[in-house]
Amino acid sequence: MKLPFEIDLSGKVVVVTGAGGVLCSMFAKALAKTHAKIALLDLNEDAAKANADEIVKDGGIAKGYKCNVLDKASLEEVREAIKSDFGTCDILINGAGGNNPKATCDDEYFTKDDLGSMKTFFDLDQSGVEFVFNLNFLGTLLPTQVFAIDMVDKEDASIINISSMNAYTPLTKIPAYSGAKAAISNFTQWLAVHFSKTNIRCNAIAPGFFVTKQNEKLLFNDDGTPTPRTNKILSATPMDRFGEPEELIGALLFLLCKDAASFVNGVVIPVDGGFSAYSGV
């Protein structure tokens, strides 16, 4: 992996939640190249450790940890382990999140004819909606509670949350995920103000459309051909393609670079190929 530009985070301890997934493992691997020490957290311990092993093999400093971001006791236990292994947290990347089929509907536009023939808004499962809100919102709030206490009054500590383009414009079929990501953007601004006297900056990145394990079934058929939803997405993306995960790294490095972004606080940066700027006309 080649970084778009170099920054030096030597001595910094970076905690990345959701580090077993495509985007957050990529964040971890990129930040390892800045000479930071990387703690990769995921409920899937094997994935977190495999990604950490890749970093170590490439000459970086990293370790994978099993962690449930919805369990404060689990977070506290991992915090102590990281402190013992690397020291206290300087940078927190809140990347854990996702959707759930129980919180999605099949119809983009409701009509009475849909009742009984597909899963509509009226069939959304309460437990599924709660799961999505908990995973995205509480899965950001709880790690921040646990790790930010060690970041108070450090030199240029930083929290990066992962929002989504859904926070700007809700997508059809996924009301819970859209709402939960809107909450992340709002929470990012709240944290930026709340911690503004403590040297902790808090910002977010809002990825547009990137292909991940979470959404690939929505975007591509089993034979690899694009679904109708993919065609809609690309027609609304002026750059006419999906983003590559590496195209998020520049925004991440910018936000973490003291020389470049020391006065940047409480912003949500879209990385979306122009999706949020396009009216459709």
- Write out the catalytic residue numbers: 177
Return the half-sphere exposure (C-beta side, CA atoms, 13 A cut-off) of residue 270. Answer: 16
Sign of CA dihedral 34, 39, 42, 45: positive
CA distance 79 to 151: 12
Residues 121, 83: contact at Cβ < 8 Å? no
Residues 31, 56: contact at Cβ < 8 Å? no
- 41 closest CA partner among 6, 74, 11, 88: 74
CA distance 44 to 52: 13
